[in-house]
Structure 1
Amino acid sequence: MKKRRRRSTAQETALPVRHHARIAAARRGDVRVSASIGPGGEVIALWTAAADVRALTSSMTGPGGVAFPDPRAARPVTARVTVHSPAPTGVTTLHDFPLAYPAVQPLPDGRVLAVGARARRHPDGPDRNAIIYSADGAALAAETLGDGIGHVFTTGTGHVWVGYFDEGVYGNLGWDGTDGREPVGACGLARFSPDLKADWRFPSNDNPWGVIDDCYALNVDAETAWTCYYSGFPIVRVHDGALTGWHGDGTVTSALITDGSRIALYSAGRNRLTAGQLTGARMRSTGRYRVVLPNGRDLPGDALAIGRGPDLHILTSGNWYRLNLHDVP
């Protein structure tokens, strides 16, 4: 008699997201270059004409033939920033936009923060890869937030949280520390004031959970930041500069959502959501799920997952989906 296989306790249950809105360009023919979620749960996206996309996403070839993203746009372009809540609520046109691989975030008074992922350090000073624009598109200020930026989130007060990937932490593009000055992103996670001055840095060498080698996941909810980072993937909360942390189960995490006691860790690629409780000094896993579209199909390959507070936002080429922590059993 053929034995029946036992059902694995780690089996993943399909968990459908809810369709929230369509995300479309304000101008016919524009292509979306990047999109993110603002402090109020709104989508903010940067677009440009199809012919200009390559200028904002060009790369250079380094030693050994390795390709690296360009720190600056190949040429300035005209870009448009749209905000969706969920219907479109505003468009800001940015002329002569110079940043490559840009992320955008909303600021108070209708202003926009644009940040390029890379910044080269030159003998006469580093690239200024952060620009604040007015509501009518005028450049108001420019500063350097460092190289190797993986996450940028603003708060309702205009503060800016930045998470860095490994090249920003350990140095590249002139940030090699040979002159005794470490990279801006050496701490892995930093907060900047509304005028883009660093006002808090993660104490990588003075905490129980270890250094940030790569800030894989960042969630900023009001003035509190949550991160889950490589290599041990602990979960750390930053509130008023104080750290509270929990050891995780090693889940590779690209986004997280939390209400302060419950948490869910999202793993891109496999579209896996690991739910748990933050108890004592460790996260206790309570279930694993496979995030799917409302019709049960797999998420498309271009799906971008972003956590803000208890909400997981899934952005595809034209649609915005959401999943709240209350939707997770």
Structure 2
Amino acid sequence: MKPVPLTPYARLPRAHRDLPIITSTVDAYDRAHWLLVERPDAMPNGPYDALVVTVDDGSVHRTHLSAVTAEHPLLDALPDGGFVLANARSPKHRHRDQVQIFDALGRPSWTFTVGDGIAHLLADEAGDLWIGYFDEGVLGDRLSAPGVRRWSPSGDAVWEFKPTSGADSILDCYALNVDRRAAWAYTYTAFPLLEIRDDRPVKVRTSPVKGAHGIAAHGDRVAFFGGYGGDSGRLVVCALTESAAEPVSYSTLVRPEGGEIGRRRVVGRGPRVYVQDAPYTDWGVWDLSG
């Protein structure tokens, strides 16, 4: 398959590379964020301080977060300048909420619980939190059981997936894309493509791809990135019909310099798939609309 290189997108400034990178993401406004822990010995033994470094079109912003509790954090930014951190696993101490909201100054504001086994955490432009869960949460926690849910930033349950024609119960949310008020989910076991919008029932389409971990969507096209085994770099562009995503082209997504993409983080935002691999200091992007 033809190799298609990622385009370099955002880089963690060299001045911050001496701190351990805990996680990283790209938000609804296409800003890249890195969560760095300032004292590695404080994690996960108790609340710790962390630093969010934000790169926005070349400019760099820093936000110090205090009293972080997540042992396995996922990060995203909120429209008011604050941040949300969620622990991927429910805390061992059940009295502790797993989601923390921080204001624009990095101060913890409130907490709530959304269920165990968080695979994906993506905030939309309104600040709602879209969460996709993996199997251990789906099978072991009533809050996670729907597989995909939307929560308000204050912790209210806004929407949850319910089995529908063409899409049975979700065992694992493999990929999630959130763009404005729309979301796309790609789920195990049958790997349907779910189009989720406020004003209509969930649209279910069959997909030709198994095991992908990234989605890009634009107009009447969708792309799947990744797969099992030797297909980890596969990029499949499909045309959307009423009931299916039908393959148009196959290629292989590679690093900007042409090397194979290793263990990676993937974030889907509308037509873009953002990809980051070790040492997790750089984000690359592939754009379906381009």
Normalising by structure 1, we get a TM-score of 0.81
Corresponding residue for residue 40 of structure 2: 51
Corresponding residue for residue 8 of structure 2: 19
Could you tell me which amino acid in structure 1 is paired with residue 151 of structure 2?
A: F
CA 202–126 in structure 1, closer or farther in 2 if over 3 Å, else same = farther
Q: Is the 8 A contact 1:119 1:126 kept in 2?
A: no
The 5-angstrom pairing of residues 1-329 of structure 1 reads: 12-24=1-13, 27=16, 29-49=18-38, 51-52=40-41, 56=43, 73-120=44-91, 126-171=95-140, 175=141, 183-204=142-163, 206-240=164-198, 242-267=201-226, 270-299=232-261, 301-316=262-277, 317-327=280-290
Could you tell me which amino acid in structure 2 is paired with residue 215 of structure 1?
A: C
Question: What is the percent sequence identity of the aligned residues?
Answer: 29
User: 1:3-24, CA deviations, whole angstroms, 9 ceiling, x for partnerless residues?
Assistant: xxxxxxxxx1111111123223
Corresponding residue for residue 64 of structure 1: none
Cα distance in structure 1, aligned partners of 2:14 and 2:181: 30
SS of match in other structure, 2:40: helix
Q: Is the 8 A contact 1:29 1:50 kept in 2?
A: no
Q: Is the 8 A contact 1:152 1:163 kept in 2?
A: yes
Cα distance in structure 1, aligned partners of 2:15 and 2:35: 10
SS of match in other structure, 2:144: helix
Q: Is the 8 A contact 2:12 2:53 kept in 1?
A: no
The number of aligned residues is 284
Specify every segment of 5 or more residues in structure 2 that has no aligned partner in the other structure, as ranges. Answer: none
Cα distance in structure 1, aligned partners of 2:66 and 2:130: 26
Normalising by structure 2, we get a TM-score of 0.91
SS of match in other structure, 2:30: coil
Cα distance in structure 2, aligned partners of 1:20 and 1:254: 19
Could you tell me which amino acid in structure 2 is paired with residue 94 of structure 1?
A: L
SS of match in other structure, 1:168: helix
Cα distance in structure 1, aligned partners of 2:19 and 2:54: 15
Q: Is the 8 A contact 2:82 2:102 kept in 1?
A: yes
Q: Is the 8 A contact 1:26 1:91 kept in 2?
A: no
Q: Is the 8 A contact 2:11 2:55 kept in 1?
A: no
Cα distance in structure 2, aligned partners of 1:257 and 1:188: 20
Specify every segment of 5 or more residues in structure 1 that has no aligned partner in the other structure, as ranges. Answer: 1-11, 57-72, 176-182
Cα distance in structure 2, aligned partners of 1:294 and 1:28: 20
Which of 1 and 2 has greater Rg?
A: 1
- Give me the CA root mean square deviation: 1.9
